Each structure stands twice: as C-alpha cells, then as structure tokens.
Amino acid sequence: MTGPARVDVEGWGWRYAGRKLPATRGIDLVVEPGERVLLLGASGAGKSTLLAGIAGLLGGSDEGERTGRILVDGVAPEAQRGRIGLVLQDPEAGIVLSKVGDDVAFGCENLGIPAEQIPARVSEALASVGLATPLERSTKALSGGQKQRLALAGVLAMRPGLLLLDEPTANLDPDGVSEVRAAVEAVVAREGTTLVLIEHRTAVWADLMTRVVVLAPGGGVLADGPPDEVFARHGDALAAAGVWVPGRPVDLPVLAPVRDTDAVLSTRALSVAREKRTVVASGLDLVVPAGAGTVVTGPNGVGKSTLALTLAGLLPEAAGEVVTEASLAARGVRRPSRWRSTELLTRIGTVFQQPEHQFLAPTLRDELAVGPRALRMPATQVDAIVDELLERLDLASLALANPFTLSGGQKRRLSVATVLAASPEVIVLDEPTFGQDRRGWAELVLLLQREIERGRSVVAVTHDADVVRHLGQHRIALEPAA
Amino acid sequence: MSGVDTGGAGAGSDVRSAWLDRINPVTKVVIVLVLAAPLLVSIDAVSAATALLLELLCVPLTGLAYATVLRRLVPVLVFAPVAAMSMLLYARPGGTVYGTFLFATVSDDSIALSVAVFVRVIALALPMILLFAHTDPTELADALAQVARLPSRFVLGVLAGARTVGLFVDDWRTMSLAHRARGLGDRGAVRRFFSMAFVLLVFAVRRGTTLATAMEARGFGADIERTWARPSTLSGWDAVTLGGAVALVAVALGAAVLTGAFRVVGT
C-alpha cells in the first residue's frame, strides 16, 4: 500500500505494566489521509504513549494493558512496519549505525527491499531532507540538526504513509530547528504524507499543521480543531498545561542590561578544549559581570559548553587563563581550575546539560545534602539548608523520592537546587531549558532571576531566545573560527 | 608547488588498496585462528620466531606502515615480558640451575621457555593487529551475518550497541567533572568509581531501551527476510590468502622440526 495513511483510534487506552493508573485512556480520534495533526497536552497526558501506540511500538501484554484499538489503514500498526515512520526527541536515539549511508539503508534492509534498489532510495531520502554529506561520513560527526534529519531520512527511505514526530526539535539549536522543520515541510508538501507531531514549542510548527488535538490529563480528548480556533478558545488552559501558545509570551520581568560593572570572572587569551589536543575555541577575552545574568550563545560545535565548563573551573584552560575577582580567591589562587573541589563548591556551581549526570544520592534529601556535607557543616545546618531548598523549589513532597524517578522539570529544578545548597557566588548552567515545557521553563527562569537579585552571578549557555531575553543582561556570542 | 603537496598527502595517508582490503572479514577471522592454533599447542622459540619473521614480511600486504604496526604493538610489548618473566622464574626447572629463591628457580629450561613465550605472545598478537587494523565494524558484521551465517538479530544488535560505547565514554567524563563540581573531587576515588559505574548502568539500560525502539520502528525484527545493502562475498583472493597463511604456519613448524627445537605444550 502506498500514499498517505489513515489512522483510527477507537476508545484506546494504555496502562504500563507495574503502574496503577493508565498513561491514557478513552481516546477516540480519526486522522484522515494527508492531515497534519499537532498533538498537545499537559506533561503526563499520554501524548508520547499515544504516538508509540500508533507506531505499534508499545509491545504485548507483558509490557502493559491495552483497551480499545488503533488501526492504520484498517490494519493493526504492528503489522505495518515501514508504513509508519517515527522520529524521537533525542537526536542520539534515532541513529542505529555508524555511517550515514548504512544508517539510512538499515530500514530498507529490514523491510526486505532488494539490495540493488537500496542505493537509489538512500540518496533520494538524503536529498529530500537536504543532507548532502558523503555516505561514508560518521554519524558521530553530525550536528544535532543533521542527526535529526538523518533519522528522518532513515524513516523516509522506507516510504512511509504516516510520519510520527515526538518533539523532533526540542533539543536543537535554532539552525537545527529550521533545518528539520524545512525538511519535514518539504516531505509533506511533496508526498502528502499524514503527519502527527508532538511539540511544546508550537510556534515552530503551528502554521504547517491543519489540525490541533489536545489530550486531557485524565484521558480522552480535550479539544480538537483548526489551530487558530483551538488556540483562541483553549489558550489559557493550554498555557497553564505547559504549552507554548503562539502569541502568549511568558509573563516574567526582563532584567536591564549591565555596563561597566565589576567582573566576577574574566578570561585572557583563553583557549578551551575538552581534551588537550582538540581546542574548540581560542583567543577569548571575556568578562562575566558580577551580580548579573550572562548568556553565551552561538551555533552548535562552536565550543559553548566547553567554555562554560572551563569558566566553571572544571576543565583546565588549554591556553590563556580564567581569573576571578580578588575576593573570590582561594589560598590566594584566582584561577578556578587550580582550586580544590571543595573550594570550587562555595565559589562556582555548575548545572549540567543532563541533570542525571550530577545526581549522586538515593533520595532528594541526600542529594541536596551532598554539598553541605562535603563542606563539613554540622547536621542541623545541613538540615536547615535542605529543608529551605525543598520548600522553596516546591520539591518537599518528594523529599524521599529517588532523583532518577522525577519528571524532566523536577529533575532540572533539583539539579539547580543541589548547586544552590552550597551557596556559590557564580552559577554556570549548560542549556538549562532544553526539553522543558512552558511551566518548567518559567519556574526555572524565575528561580535564576531571584538568584541574580540576591547578588549571584549567573552564566547560562543557551540556544533559547527567550532565555537570552530574560537573563541576558550581558551577552557573549561565540562565532565559529574562520 | 601544489603538485608536491598532493604527492606528500597521498603517500602519508592510509591508502585502501592493499591486498588485504580485498579479503572478506570472515576469512581474516579464519586466518587468525589458523595462525594461532599451532602456536598455542607448540612451545618452542624457533616456530614462533619463524612465524613472527614471516608475519613481519607480510606487513606490506596489509597497507599498514611499519611504524603504525610498531605503535599498535606497544601494549603487547609491555605485556609480553610479564608473561616471559613468570616463565623464567616459575617454569619446571631443567638443565643447569642458575639460582633459586623460594618457589622461583632460574634454569636452562626456564630461560628457553621464557624466550619462547616472549616471542610467541608477539607472534600471536601481530596477526590480529595486521588483519583487523583496517576492518570496519559494519563490514565485519555484514560478513558474519552473510558469509558466516550468524543470526542477523544478534550481529546487528551487537553492532548497534557497540556504537553507543562512545556515548558512555562521554558520560563518564561528564560525571567526573560533576563530582568535582559538587565538592567530591578531592578524595574517595574508589567510592566515586562505584557510584559512577552504577549511574552508567542506569544510562545503559535506558539507552538500550531507546535503541531497541528505534531499531524496531525501522522494521528490525519483522518477519520479513532481511536484505543486505552491502553484499559480503568470498572470492579467489580469500582462498589464496588463506592458503598463504597455511603455508606460513607449515614453514614455521617445519623449521622447528628440522632444527630439532619443536616442542608441544606439556612435554
């Protein structure tokens, strides 16, 4: 069967094995061939579960319990591999093999396409997503946007009638976002492929979509209709549920730009590198103003994260130096990379891109206590700090939960809280708003603005124009080396 | 001027047109076994030294520079003396005894054995370096599935999983930095190692699940007979090369027998 696919969802629901409540239930939905549906809903409403269900990837009865049914072109999706293409949020997740050409061919091989037809399909799929890299290119060497387009090409080579995209641009820089959006647009315009897409950041996709479906948190469909109509009628509810509704900016103050303030950190002829031999940026003479928000922007691969880790004293300078203001010196040393770990703790705190990387303890309480205990504070003081943070960051009800079991927004807040526990003068954050919905985003930015008001200096590496707007009192734009 | 540059670049880079590049990876696996088996059951210096010499003469066929081979041999050159030393001290004594200390005895026999082991370790490691230096993992997987007929689910599963190893290296590095950032970088290295290993395990399970989903979403594991975009086949080159390996082993063993040095393990 070829051409755009039709999807019938009839009274469908799914409960994951081991969970008391269903992830979603009672969903009735018909997607006509060629429709382009934006699927919205609060975090936890079961959007991704529904998408995986339509893709036929939820597994059998040992994985969970199904009610109702889903049909694609009148047949169970499990029997329709290749008719349905799925692209996920994490650019790493969609890639299977180590060379571009092999990876695109992978799906075709699995579908039993004769070997002599595969090269043509591969080059056609790569051309349709605008990826002009050699087939031999290592998939590791691609940027985030290129990886997502590769994942899309791998799916398109199977010639699907239905494309399912689960936040395909959430982890990309602005260039990557527009690359992926353009590739998807070109495909649906040419093939008329049916499209179902999940995305919090609706502005990127809204004008491409013919229909918006909003899932209700307890199950069922909350709203369904043309984008303008749904946004007009349910805008407030959607915004409250964490969706970025077009034309409704977040109601937060914009901090005034700073000039001529003292620098808490400054760099001289700085070169940064993750490993000694691979310098990613050099000749940097920068300042981080004290008691203000600084944002670092620039395209992927320009060395933003490496710069952040170097400013934070975690990576040694490859050349040149990072120097702090005199009052921050430890044992008379003003270079953070030369400090001891415990000296760093009270001076510069780092929030990593993936919160999991910095979690060390089995409960939230213990996690927050790690820093204060490393500083050998008395138990009563540790408790006081932990309690205050749990309360302030709205995590008190989860005090005994394991950090790994939290939602994305909660993990992000906890990772910031672990840093605040040691009261550092400077807080460095790497892509703090990646993958956050509107609510998580606003909570985080507000929290950082409060810290700036308290006199802290905040440095955030970001692609997010709204973060730049709300925290960018001082802006550092890194340019690729000529 | 530009002509000089091009010439220099061409000579310096790895050129993939060596004899060995025409050989199927499965043949390479078989050759490694052919070269290793006799060296594992015999234990004299002559057979190993002859094999090693002949292997070194084969280096030009692999397209590798001698300097590259030497660099890759470094770990083996570090390990081989350790193995040789244990033989020197603890092998069954025989002939003149030169010294004894506790259980250690250095004798004519143990010296001979230690030399034999030293040469042997290198002669065993060298073929693997020579044969697999240029072998692409995907090519190997294609060959294992199509030529050796191993189950494709297994081969591709391992191949796809191996790609994620690099991600774990990055995770580990980031976690080390995170420990420093959180005030735990000054001491407790052992505890830090185990706590990071545990988190890595969590990442591994999670990555494995997403990878399985991604592969399944692209039709992996469906009931359809899989095709292969890169056919992996055997040719006359494989037969000739395998024949060459057998000849090499025959010459090495023959030399040992002729000189009277031939000795099998356990005698």
* Average of per-residue pLDDT across B91-108: 84
With contacts defined as CB-CB under 8 Å, which chain A residues touch B222? 81-82, 110-111
Q: What is the pairing mode between strands A263-273 and A287-289?
A: antiparallel
Residues near A6 by beta carbon (within 8 Å), at least 6 away in sequence: A30, A31, A32, A33, A72, A73, A74, A194
* Average of per-residue pLDDT across B71-81: 90
Contact between chains at A352 and B178 (C-beta distance less than 8 A): yes
What single-letter amino acid sits at A91? P
- In this predicted structure, the answer to whether residue B9 has a pLDDT above a threshold of 70 is no
CB A372 within 8 A of CB A382: yes
With contacts defined as CB-CB under 8 Å, which chain A residues touch B229? 102, 105, 108-109, 115, 118-119, 122
DSSP annotation of A406: S
pLDDT of residue A109: 92
* Average of per-residue pLDDT across B132-146: 87
Q: Is B215 on the interface with A (CB under 8 A)?
A: yes
Domains and CATH numbers, chain A: 7-240 (3.40.50.300)
With contacts defined as CB-CB under 8 Å, which chain B residues touch A107? 218-219
With contacts defined as CB-CB under 8 Å, which chain A residues touch B231? 115
Question: A–B: how many Cβ contacts below 8 A?
Answer: 156
Residue A384 CA to residue A377 CA, distance in Å, equals 11
pLDDT of residue B3: 34
Residue A397 CA to residue A402 CA, distance in Å, equals 12
Distance from CA of A470 to the nearest CA of B (A): 26
Contact between chains at A95 and B220 (C-beta distance less than 8 A): no
Average the pLDDT over each of A191-200, A255-264, A414-423 and give the range with the smallest value.
A255-264
Give the pLDDT confidence of A20-48 residue by residue, as tens digits.
888 888 999 999 999 999 998 877 788 88
pTM: 0.80
Extents of the domains making up chain B: 16-135+234-259, 148-217
Contact between chains at A422 and B183 (C-beta distance less than 8 A): yes
pLDDT of residue A453: 93
Q: For residue B138, what pLDDT band results from cuts at 50, 70 and 90?
A: confident
Distance from CA of B175 to the nearest CA of A (A): 5
Distance from CA of B176 to the nearest CA of A (A): 9
With contacts defined as CB-CB under 8 Å, which chain B residues touch A84? 217
- In this predicted structure, the answer to whether residue A62 has a pLDDT above a threshold of 90 is no
Residue B2 neighbours by CB distance under 10 Å:
6
3-state secondary structure of A270: strand
pLDDT of residue B16: 57
pLDDT of residue A364: 93
Give the pLDDT confidence of B193-219 residue by residue, as tens digits.
888 888 888 888 888 888 888 888 898
Minimal Cβ distance to A342: which of B166, B167, B183: B183
Q: Is B4 on the interface with A (CB under 8 A)?
A: no
Q: Is B175 on the interface with A (CB under 8 A)?
A: yes
Residue B149 neighbours by CB distance under 10 Å:
9
DSSP annotation of B133: T
ipTM of the complex: 0.82
Distance from CA of B121 to the nearest CA of A (A): 32
Rg (CA), chain B: 24
% of chain A residues with pLDDT over 70: 100
CB B224 within 8 A of CB A111: yes
Residue A151 CA to residue B33 CA, distance in Å, equals 39
Residues near A385 by beta carbon (within 8 Å), at least 6 away in sequence: A368, A369, A372, A377, A421
Q: Is B68 on the interface with A (CB under 8 A)?
A: no
Mean pLDDT across chain A = 89
- Reduce the secondary structure of A410-468 to three states and give it as a string: HHHHHHHHHHHCCCCCEEEEECCCCCCCHHHHHHHHHHHHHHHHCCCEEEEECCCHHHH
Residue B25 CA to residue A46 CA, distance in Å, equals 47
- Reduce the secondary structure of B81-129 to three states and give it as a string: HHHHHHHHHHCCCCCCEEEEECCEEEEHHHHHHHHHHHHHHHHHHHHHH
pLDDT of residue B2: 35
Contact between chains at A345 and B182 (C-beta distance less than 8 A): yes
Q: What is the pairing mode between strands A24-31 and A7-16?
A: antiparallel
> Residue A416: closest CA among chain B residues belongs to which residue?
B182
Distance from CA of A57 to the nearest CA of B (A): 7
Minimal Cβ distance to A360: which of B138, B182, B220: B182
Give the pLDDT confidence of A353-401 residue by residue, as tens digits.
888 889 988 899 999 999 999 999 999 999 999 999 998 888 888 889 8
Contact between chains at B199 and A359 (C-beta distance less than 8 A): yes
CB A113 within 8 A of CB B227: yes
Contact between chains at B182 and A105 (C-beta distance less than 8 A): no
Minimal Cβ distance to A360: which of B163, B173, B195: B195
Q: What residues 38-67 of chain B have any CB closer than 8 A to a CB of chain A?
A: none
> Residue B215: closest CA among chain A residues belongs to which residue?
A96
CA atoms A98, A102, A107, A109: torsion sign:
negative
Phi and psi dihedrals of A394, rounded to 5? Answer: 60, 45
Instruction: Determine the residue among B218, B220, B232 to mutate to test chain A binding: the one whose Cβ has the most chain A Cβ atoms within 10 Å.
Output: B218
With contacts defined as CB-CB under 8 Å, which chain A residues touch B215? 96, 106
Contact between chains at A352 and B199 (C-beta distance less than 8 A): no
Question: Residues A12, A15, A17, A19: what is their CA dihedral angle, to the nearest 10 degrees?
Answer: 180
CA neighbor of A460 nearest in space, from A353, A323, A322: A353
Distance from CA of A229 to the nearest CA of B (A): 33
Instruction: Determine the residue among A86, A87, A95, A96 to mutate to test chain B binding: the one whose Cβ has the most chain B Cβ atoms within 10 Å.
Output: A96
Q: What is the pairing mode between strands A7-16 and A64-72?
A: antiparallel
Residue A238 CA to residue A157 CA, distance in Å, equals 35
CB A323 within 8 A of CB A267: yes
Give the pLDDT confidence of A83-102 residue by residue, as tens digits.
999 988 888 888 888 889 99
